[in-house]
Structure 1
Amino acid sequence: MRARIVHHGIRRRRARRRRALWTGGEALVTVGVVLLLLVVHQLWWTNREAREGARHQVEALEREWGEGGGDDGRSAGRGEGLGDDGTTTSTQDGGTPSASEPRRTTNSTPTQTTWSQAYAILTVPRLHLRVPVAEGVGKESVLNKGYVGHYPGTGQPGQVGNFALAGHRNTHGEPFRYVNRLAPGDTVEVETRSAVYTYAVDRTLRQTSARDSGVIRAIPRSRLHPSYGYTAPGHFITLTTCTPEYTSRYRLVVWGKLVSTRPR
């Protein structure tokens, strides 16, 4: 019986193929591990970190108010649109406010607080949510901290107009993850140094364009869905976030009306 002859060239080619397959497999495993770590970071670590930071900020505000400090007044440029996660796409000056720019109180007295400093606490009993509210809706300066951001140029708590807020629905604390579960009559509280304002959820716009800036106007009304919104002045609150989940293509909007005010 004749012995099978294997040439050295064939052996070398087979060895190269095995090495290539092994190297490719290692590369795929490495890429998979890196992607898994990125997913864990986005879906778990950013939430853990932001929630912890937001909790500490709420506690700091409560201590500050208990000692008689703090400032309720806020004002800023005019917001014109809704960006990612509900952020405005422009302001009165056509840009994002500087973090060093002094904020003004309702009587136009400048203060030295920064744009991203929290100044109120939002509580939504149905969602077991209690988070700080900061001026501005920038991702890095406000939303990624797990805070809820106040749209510059919209009303303030308890005032005639629209107290409009934005928050992440996914990652970075995701305070507005379940705002779609709010139903008419559910309460939303905004606590400041001097008072607690209670709003009752009135209606929801399940989906609209990120450019639908009408939803955060003083008399909120969708420009794309005119049957959603209001036609007369009032004391409104607006909660905005991205929809569907894990995307930023559209916006989900929840509106409420002021029903009571009590001293803190």
Structure 2
Amino acid sequence: MRDRVRGRVPVVVQTRGVRSTPARVLWVCAEAVVTCGVVLMLLVAHQLWWTNQQARAQAGEQVRALEREWAGSPPVTPEAPVVEIQPSAGVESHAPSPSEVPTSSGRPPEAASSSASSAYAIIRIPRIGLTAPIARGVSKRSVLDRGYVGHYPGTAGPGRTGNFALAGHRNTHGEPFRYINRLRAGDTIRIQTREREYTYVVDQVLARTAPRDTGVIQPVPRSLVKPSYGYSDPGAYLTLTTCTPEFSSAYRLVVWARRA
């Protein structure tokens, strides 16, 4: 019996360095949290930095392309005046909402042969150091996200009587309208086309209104939410719209200017 006991091989269980189940779960959770944090930081960096760099480069190249094109070709004279198309009987007609931004009565003659999302004009605002291309439409994918300023369909062309209404991002994707809240009465805004340059003078600023306040881009602009802001008489107006407050699309910021 003693010989059998002596012949047994003792079994030693190594417990040192082996984590218990609760500790292992905590470790896995911590790794997951760190990984999610890194991914989130990369997404934020992409939105706040990379989209701006990409859109600004694209918009800047478009501005230079327009300037080269205009310098090398004579002005285009429209063959016929632009006529506003009236809606058919029984069809309700309304202007697009500023909520399409985010942040043409008649097509501008200089843009008639270009595609819907191609730039046809340049906006310059000295007060905030802005130079950006203007394209027809307010589509995010084909216009606004490229760093362009969008021209609301159904509103007047540059320099025309009516309301030349524009939209632009306030944050990300080039954010051309980020600082339009800094504009004050008397500041100038220049719109350059192939034909000529138009100057507008800032007149009113509506710091906040509802996304569905379509009155701000009507031919004679007046806020439907805050009727004390806007105009009563026809004229040649320029409207800039974007989202507010920053990094939010809860409301719209509106800047109005008159043609000088």
Q: Greater shift after overlay, 61-70 or 33-42?
A: 61-70
Name the counterpart of 2:98.
Answer: 82
* Matches for 1:80-119 after TM superposition, within 5 Å: 80-85=96-101, 106=109, 111-119=112-120
Residue by residue over 1:1-43, the C-alpha shift from the partner in whole angstroms, topping out at 9 and shown as x without a partner, is xxxxxxx8x9999521121111111100000000000000000
What stretches of structure 1 move > 2 A for 4+ residues in a row? 10-14, 69-80, 84-87, 103-106, 109-112
The one of 36, 40, 51 aligned to 2:41? 36
Name the counterpart of 1:68.
Answer: 73
Preserved CA contact (<8 Å) 2:98 2:213: yes
* Aligned-pair CA distance for 1:215: 0.2
The one of 54, 58, 64 aligned to 2:59? 54
Preserved CA contact (<8 Å) 1:119 1:192: yes
Q: Which amino acid aligns with 1:167?
A: G
Preserved CA contact (<8 Å) 1:86 1:210: no
Q: Which amino acid aligns with 1:50?
A: A
Q: Which amino acid aligns with 2:152?
A: Y
Preserved CA contact (<8 Å) 2:235 2:258: yes
* Aligned-pair CA distance for 1:55: 0.3
Preserved CA contact (<8 Å) 1:155 1:163: yes
Q: Which amino acid aligns with 1:163?
A: F
Q: TM-score, normalised by structure 1?
A: 0.82
Name the counterpart of 2:187.
Answer: 186
Structure 1 residues not aligned, in runs of 5+ = 1-7, 92-102, 260-264
Residue by residue over 1:148-200, the C-alpha shift from the partner in whole angstroms, topping out at 9 and shown as x without a partner, is 00000100111100100000000000000000000000000000001000000
Following the alignment from structure 2 to structure 1, what is the Cα–Cα distance between the partners of residues 236 and 107? 21
Structure 2 residues not aligned, in runs of 5+ = 1-12, 86-92
- The CA RMSD over aligned residues, in Å, is 2.7
Q: Alignment length, in residue pairs? A: 235
Following the alignment from structure 1 to structure 2, what is the Cα–Cα distance between the partners of residues 118 and 110? 8
Identical pairs, percent: 54
Name the counterpart of 1:161.
Answer: 162
Name the counterpart of 1:250.
Answer: 251
Preserved CA contact (<8 Å) 2:164 2:238: yes
Could you say what secondary structure the match of 2:247 adopts?
coil
Name the counterpart of 1:94.
Answer: none
Following the alignment from structure 2 to structure 1, what is the Cα–Cα distance between the partners of residues 48 and 117? 24
Preserved CA contact (<8 Å) 2:100 2:139: no
Q: TM-score, normalised by structure 2?
A: 0.83
Shift of the 54–84 alpha-carbon distance from structure 1 to 2, 3 Å rule, reads: same
* Aligned-pair CA distance for 1:82: 1.8
Following the alignment from structure 1 to structure 2, what is the Cα–Cα distance between the partners of residues 247 and 43? 13
Shift of the 174–71 alpha-carbon distance from structure 1 to 2, 3 Å rule, reads: farther
Following the alignment from structure 1 to structure 2, what is the Cα–Cα distance between the partners of residues 240 and 140? 18
Name the counterpart of 1:130.
Answer: 131
